Amino acid sequence: MSPDTSKFIDAYGGTTDSILCFHAPGRVNLIGEYTDFNGGPVFPCAIDRGNTLYVRRTTDATIEFISEHFADRRSLQGAELEQKQGNDSWVNYPLGVINEFAKLGHSLHGLQLYYTGNVPSGAGLSSSASIEVLTAFALNQLFELGIAKVDLAVLAQRAENNFVGVQCGIMDQFAVAMAEEDYAIALQCDTLEYRQVPLKLGQYKIIISNTNQQRGLAEIAYNERVSECNTALAALEPATGAAQLASITPEQLAGNLHLLTDPVIRNRASHVISETNRVYQAVTALTVNDLKTFGQLMNDSHASLRDLFEVSSDPLDSLVKHANAIPGVAGSRMTGAGFGGCTVSLVHSDAVEKFKATVGKLYFEETGLHADFYETGAANGVQQLPL
């Protein structure tokens, strides 16, 4: 019996006979930030950190939630399952998924859920999407609902939009659901067309650097960016005919800047449209093994997120600055929603140890914060595991 299975038994009692185990990864976005809800392209991969769910059906109407990492154990039934559990409760992520199933006519009850994992919360590595997709996939299997993984990803996104209240795009949930080992996903978010691109990095490694900065009001700021992008699209749509901000070309933007009288809105649109092109260029560069170009596009992405979209932070900028000063670093950028969280860097294998030591030292001297470093490959998406 695994240690986590033992913890499940300690919490809920009984035997292991009817327990099932599922795993969902976190994700890192290599490039393409804030393009997903604007109908643009993204280029994420799953990481080798994730969340695991142990689940068992019961004969009563109660759903019980336990997380190894949070103290607020919940036991809910009936109308309680439709109620948000306070803005800061982790339970809202699985509960939102259960609510979306209910909207489809699937009344799910009689469950014991035990979550564990090693994706740091609030780090921009999609710990929330991991829990959402994990819950959706597990319940789909457990109740034999026959819903395809793509549709489970969309359901999980709706849970975050409608129940949690974050107006995220589809990228995080899609990556967690559909990822394949050793591949990144080139996803067009407005159509959900995608292709698996071999993540051939040669002697380079993906290094995630965690600022360990508290993200504060990141969810509020995220929703503000969604609103600002919608404002930009509303101003540009009559002249361009565009249904999505990301479908506007740089030439169309340049010819219609006079329609964006607010410089903040102009900057938001400029980031989304330029970032869209960077994703296409980055996928092409990786396909032909041009990691120098890929790295420069990462750097350009960070500068745009910092200066035009204003979602970086001093700790993120510090990590990127010190990373790019290390010989052997092809590129570095913030990843995820920003306001703290993580950077992603492409680092030559010969430089990895120097990268961790030097960047960590200089970052602490500049910010007073200790960074954590995770080396990762591209992992598989959500799946059932044997006990």
Which amino acids are annotated catalytic? 172
How many degrees, rounded to 5, is the angle at CA 321 between CA 327 and CA 369?
115
* 246, 251, 255, 257 alpha-carbon torsion, rounded to 10°: 40
How many degrees, rounded to 5, is the angle at CA 268 between CA 265 and CA 270?
110
Residue carrying structure tokens 């920003």: 338
Sign of CA dihedral 213, 214, 218, 221: negative
Q: At what angle do helices 314-324 and 291-307 cross, to 10 degrees?
A: 150
Nearest to 65 by CA among 94, 88, 85: 94
Q: Residue 225 CB: number of other CB atoms within 10 A?
A: 21
Helix (H, G, I), strand (E, B) or coil at 28: strand
Pair of tokens at residue 52: 């695991």
Rounded Cα distance, 386 and 21, in Å: 7
Rounded to the nearest 5°, which phi and psi values hold at 23?
Answer: -135, 140
User: Which helix (H) or strand (E) covers residue 24, if one does?
Assistant: strand 20-31
